[in-house]
Chains A and B, each alone.
Chain A
Amino acid sequence: MKKPNLAVDFCGVRFPNPFVLAAAPPTDDAEMIARGFEAGWAGAVVKTLGLEHVEVNLVSPMMVGMDYEDKRLVALQNIDLISDRDIREVLPEVRELKRSYPDRIVIVSIMASTEAEWKEITRRVQEAGADMIECSFSCPHGMPERGMGSAVGQNAELTYERAKWVAEAADVPVLIKLTPNVTDMRPVAEKVKEAGAEGVTCINTVKGLIGFDLDSMTPIPSVDGYSTEGGISGPAIKPIALRFVADVARDVGIPVAGVGGVVTWKDAAEFLLAGAGIVEVCTAVMRYGYDIIEELNEGLLLYLEDKGLGSPMDLVGKGLPKIVGHGELSRATKVLATVDEDTCIGCGACVIACRDGGHQAIEFAGPDAGDDARVPKVDDEKCIGCGFCRTVCPVDGCLTMQPRED
């Protein structure tokens, strides 16, 4: 069989693979982006630029992580702002990057205020050689107070107006980066489409408050004793991102650059199945470095090979038809918790989970069973097939949900 090719066409642009560095610290200067390209990233969204008169006054510290047990950085909160670099320095770098890496896709993220400014920055970025433009309508902190960022993306009319300004000024494809801090992203995405932009990037960070320092009883990250709500990224937000990508891809029918919590090729494949045409990555790159692209590319390639598919584009939206309303789900199929006694190690995690989190349907066989005393037994009268026990079993494939025979 022919080896799959990772290249994808997205909004009329050819990407050597579907993986793009998201607008963030890893794309704040050309030297960094060049290292990303050397590592194998197909493209980069240059960290959001404003016009030279826009003051960007950063705070420090601006990032703090959330750990869970043995896992560091399950989520990251940032209260960073758009790039504090002067656009007059950055644009020549964009031109140089395109000269050095003509096959890579340089997208420039922009943010502005008035129509004139949006159009001016669009033209200047385009002149510098950007392959695409991404407009941040979605940063949840700092900018909304100034009528920008998610203050735009939460309002369909403001989104429409600004997307139209940029689309009118741009010759290259335009992506509008949307905020998940809405109950439904589809009305906003509809307006993006109507305004003539080529696609959307979803999602930006989820607005949150990551925690407190318990000694001082103050919120974190502490900026001289105070903090503010910020943007949450990292693995914790992946389910939220996938949901918005699927909503927009299925119901709006506009190309989607998927982003939010991607670490591995498996995460990326899921974004493609949910309808993303390319996948942006930020927090995982910040944490592990640019060379995780090797695992994204190789893992995805091998997956495509396994599935007999020739291109990542064959995956895009493939999972959408199976996402239906709750009411449309079958009530006829019932499953039963089933324990593989050969691989069970007898920890009883399922016993506890079912007793205190389910329907008291699982108990140890008990002393009468001799050596099998610690093998869990499922009471098929009580088991409603909820599946929670399967989520706690520490042995791969030991506890499964099998169709009921009755």
Chain B
Amino acid sequence: MPETTNPTAMTEDGRTYAPHEAVIEASRCLMCEDPPCNQGCPASVDVRRFIRKIRFGNFRGAVRRIREANIMVGVCGRVCPQEMLCMEHCTRAKLDTPIDIAGLQRFAGDVELAGLAPVPEIPASRGVRVAVIGAGPAGLGAAAELAKAGVSVTVFEKADSPGGVLTHGIPPFRLDPSFATDEFSYVERLGVTMKYGVNADPAALLGEGFDAVFVGIGLGRPYTIGLDGEDLKGVHIAGDLLASVAAGETPTLGDDVVVIGGGNVAMDAAMTALRLGAANVHLCSLESHEEMPAFRSEIDEVLGEGVVFHTRTMPVRILGENGRVTGYEGIGIRWKTPGVLVPSNAEQIPGTGFGLKADAVIEAIGTGVLDRFDGVETDQRGVIKVDEETMKTSMDRVFAGGDIANGGATAVLAYGEGKRAARAIIEMLDRESGKGGGA
């Protein structure tokens, strides 16, 4: 697939394989014994198997096999950092270049949309009820896995639609929200009940008679820097800005935009600013290019679109006139202790200050925990402590996964953690009901 992106297109560019191109790419697959790519997928997608299906012309088999492991077929084909996961392990890379697993998965996802996908035969009801809090990737992973095992599942979501950060924090040029919603709605076809606009609490749900609760609420509280001028008109929090764009709004930012941050949200914010009409976008990060936490592929896209990077710098102040942003001041830094990439370890380098004209400043410096639950043990940041094998929390019958339990990572990891928790929940419930090999 071509690597260049169009900095004016707010919608997905439709970069996908034609069927014969997919077969060509799939036929590069070496079809390894004990394939290393499979070990790279947190959602346990059998990569070799779905690629084989594409190679031998069984396209619908491919998408169905992926959807069994991960209902987010096309979503992960678009947003997964596969170069860090399955593709990083691809044996073909030792010959030339890895198989474009992401592109093939995206192709498969377009072959049969979730609304048309057959629903697997679901075993008879186990007579147990599980509540899932949060309809993001972790919650959907848990809900799908539980429902397929015959568990009665209700998902409680604060927002008015599913997907969590995937639908409310990812700009539409990266992931078409209506496509994503279609894929997420597959859980309802598996028999899951969705309740939107609801704040739920695990202890209360157990009190209502649910046999177990899975918490997958994500983070949700964007950090702010606390700069002089942060209250000026024209200063945005990236998460809020991206959510409004994802909801279809087109806020005006002005010609000159400064983005602060070096993660994927900062990259998305920079690309979104260009699409909202900004002529000059500057991205200021504490980290160097190599140190940035954003996916390499996204950094390359942002660079390709002409965003100017000011790496290893920190903000000093935001300038304004008449209550509006007019400029940004930053300064170069060095790390006091190498490798510790946090603001408190940054030391300003005298004489390296710089100023930028700005009509808008977007802060994208990370997200912290928003909601906490009484009785569920967390670390000092509020991240829920879980057993890595079972995703069980300190509260009896309560499990957690995704960003709220891992502090913030990828959607596919969250999905995998939801699945892992689901299996532990099923095992627990089976043991209690005398089924299975527990005891």
Contact = CB atoms under 8 A, between A and B. Distances in A.
B21 to A, nearest CB: 9
Contact of B30 (A67, A69, A364, A394): A394
A351 B33 contact: yes
B358 interface: no
Given A69-B23, A70-B24, A70-B27, A345 B95 contact: yes
A333 to B, nearest CB: 29
B95 A69 contact: no
A349 B27 contact: no
A364 B33 contact: yes
Nearest to B91: A347
A69 B33 contact: no
A116 interface: no
Nearest to A343: B94
Interface string B291-303: 0000000000000
Contact of A349 (B24, B33, B36): B33
B34 interface: yes
Interface string B50-63: 00000100000000
Interface string A332-344: 0000000000000
B31 interface: yes
Interface string A35-75: 00000000000000000000000000000000101100000
B32 interface: yes
A348 B36 CA distance: 11
Nearest to A393: B30
Nearest to B57: A69
Contact of A348 (B24, B28, B33): B33
Given A69-B55, A394-B95, A395-B95, A347 B30 contact: yes
Interface residues of B, number: 16
B34 A348 contact: yes
Contact of A345 (B23, B28, B55, B94): B94
A343 to B, nearest CB: 10
Contacts of A394: 30, 95
B82 to A, nearest CB: 19
B177 to A, nearest CB: 34
A163 B111 CA distance: 58
A70 B23 contact: yes
A347 B30 CA distance: 7
B91 A346 contact: yes
A352 interface: yes
Nearest to A363: B33
B24 A347 contact: no
Given A69-B24, A69-B55, A70-B23, A349 B31 contact: yes
Nearest to A350: B33
Interface of A: 67, 69-70, 345-349, 351-352, 364, 374, 394-395
11 contacts: A69-B23, A70-B24, A345-B94, A347-B30, A349-B30, A349-B31, A349-B32, A349-B33, A351-B33, A352-B31, A364-B34
Given A70-B24, A349-B31, 10 more contacts: A69-B27, A70-B23, A70-B27, A70-B28, A345-B91, A346-B32, A347-B30, A351-B33, A364-B34, A374-B34
